[in-house]
Structure 1
């Protein structure tokens, strides 16, 4: 089975049928910013209550202000925009005795929260979503916003999306942690869209150091997923739904299990992107047991302890017009510096077309190791790998040495 991609390398996702409706609400500050609310938590809470009572609104926050909370804010059940400015933050107090709480919950019948030009930090949830929990059918929109140093005992160190929509534009999710999955963001059946945004330096005790998707839809365009860690699989991204990465870098992530950059058990498209310098037990760059298409991309300088420095595949992997280069496996007896093709259930089928597999290194199969299954080379060069290009000898047609 092959993933059919468009000319741009993308697949049509459920985003097409889940349009984002803009917030239609009057500003609570009619002079457009000159009447900002006071720099106090009571002023913030009162303004949110007022916006909810008015069926939504835009609240202009004070600049250079830290709104320090000792309890959670009201549930956002209407369209509400919080607009900050230079130096504006909303954060949970860290003083001894401060109760544990997430900062926002987006719920109710019409919850739509926009965080514009501000920082949200230090949320601490006993469940999911350290900073924000997004309910089914509800929306969180981040515009030039930063979510940092939040933590959840459950999943979603910064954001837990329970069947809603999370949209990031020119925003950052960094230095958050989760006790389960999704150190930065966890989505369950919902939609996450990254546009010119960064998910970095987050940590998950289980899977998905940066982003974890359980049957959700994840898109990333002109974005980065960097330096995240997972004790389990998917150092950068753990995808069990549908993910589409375009012009995006997945760099410097680490997994204690499989898939240093990405672990894919669903459907994954990597177009015009890079998966570089990630580390894992198996599949330093990408560990695939689902459906994978890589086009016009680079998988470079990734490291696996055991097998598959660049790509570990045990299902359907299609690589077109891409480079798999400079990857390695480190353990004695490790295999497949560039590509490792497994034959478990359902079995690996790797097809490389108009691509290169070069300068990779392993104990055996420096370029490609075919444990079983099938590896097909179409106009693809496999060369300058150490100690050999393909192994076992003669199992990959068209590969010499």
Structure 2
């Protein structure tokens, strides 16, 4: 399925709160935080000229978040950052003084954090980020997981000392349960999706994601007189947070020079595409699970939709087979391209590009041609190594060895 954006708000200005959160000032804030993290390193941007030629486009670059903060996912930028910000804000109120970004290490601040418990629902990656942030600050974390979260991903969360609560149902069910339990216990919910009256913390999570956009723009190759900025960007959605953060930041910093932005959903959990069709956030029916487990969300985040309705240009779905094909294509590249370890959800944006490039109608609608410069984001590496090996026929280490 493919839809062009026909929303009444399309190409109107972002809401002031979204512009403040996701623009240059927001990227500055997450940048200051990352500068205080000893585990921080800029993630790589890979050029894939071989695949670009096959797809009939001028250039293709993949921002590889499989290396982010030791967690293997872009989510490392969001939940942990929000936890640290909230700890610092609570400490400022308690102590009556302004604190810098490095203050979370101070014993006085850690004493405040020790009295705080952060809770969230997760498909796997967001929970790891919240748990890591809580451990870093000296706070507690309680992570709610649903029936579809693999044992490997649960174990990866528990390694950060988080308490794990299991619930039946889908990701959306776990979001409701996390909010309910946190309300009863007085815990702080750090969710990557929003709801009525709950927007600031998901906004902080999305703000964290702007770091990868700024990095990518700085890493793109340049000519003597200009940076070769992307003409097109394809980003996977889930509840919409990563897509909205990337689209908003590009629109705010590039203005009229912003790229054509396409949101990619799994066909089996297409909540953003259905919002585009309906013109408002809607909950889609839960059917057969998608292999893109980190994107298996059936209701969009309202603040993400508020952004995407204004700055996304197109919306499309990909099938499970498309994602698996993209995983294997990155693991077994043509000569001249690097091998990239991309999880089943991580390569959904690339799967969208590959599907669009093969369809003459979508190519024309998006203006994809031999001069197009496309950016996609590998949002996660092999966060479930066993599942990765099943789908690719190679272990993550074997693929990484090819890239070395």
TM-score by length of 1: 0.24
Greater C-alpha radius of gyration: 1
TM-score by length of 2: 0.24
Higher relative contact order (CA 8 A, sep 6+): 2
Higher strand share: 1
